[in-house]
Structure 1
């Protein structure tokens, strides 16, 4: 009778541990293990941002995703090592290129 309670606690703990989400890695999502490298895309600073240029910069930096951030735009600040960010001025001229 004294063994029933600890056995039940162990069983319940095992179930709860199995429900914990696993960390998402680039390999788990089908991506590559390499991270974004903004230094490879710095040649685009000063250029006019466009969807085509965004894709070129994304490929050149080896990023999985990319975005253009305009002044005053609300964006997530969640760090993503696979994301390239092109920060522009009001006229969409690229001012800064970074990863994260």
Structure 2
């Protein structure tokens, strides 16, 4: 097959290269919209500032959030899209869970 225009050949190669690229891999939690704290252990022991809590919620892919201090009442319903941040009396993050 002979191409009459050299630029047409380059355009064809660019088009084919675009077809072969692979999409960025996403975790099952990101696809389902569920919370995931697997990679967030680095925030344990940090002070629970509003900015940090917002950042952790985004990184966990959580739609809802609750911060629980010692003695706080919490419902027992399970919500896979909710991030629970447990803090101690000094407002230091001691545990992250989803549900």
TM-score by length of 1: 0.64
Mapped pair 1:64 → 2:59: no
> Within the alignment, does 1:94 sit opposite 2:76 as a pair?
no
TM-score (structure 2 length as normaliser) = 0.64
Q: How far apart, CA to CA, are the structure 2 residues paired with 1:96 and 1:57? A: 12
What's the C-alpha RMSD, in Å, of the aligned pairs?
1.3
> Runs of 4+ in structure 1 displaced over 2 angstroms?
none
Is residue 78 from structure 1 mapped to residue 68 from structure 2 by the alignment? Answer: no
- The count of residues paired between Structure 1 and Structure 2 equals 69
Deviations 1:8-42 (A, max 9, x none): xxxxxxxxxxxxxxxxxxxxxxxx63211011222
The equivalent of 1:7 in structure 2 is none
User: CA separation in 2, counterparts of 1:42 and 1:63?
Assistant: 16
Gap runs ≥5 in structure 2? 1-30
- Please tell me whether the aligned partners of residues 86 and 96 of structure 1 are also in contact (alpha carbons under 8 angstroms): yes
Point out where structure 1 has 5 or more consecutive residues left out of the alignment: 1-31
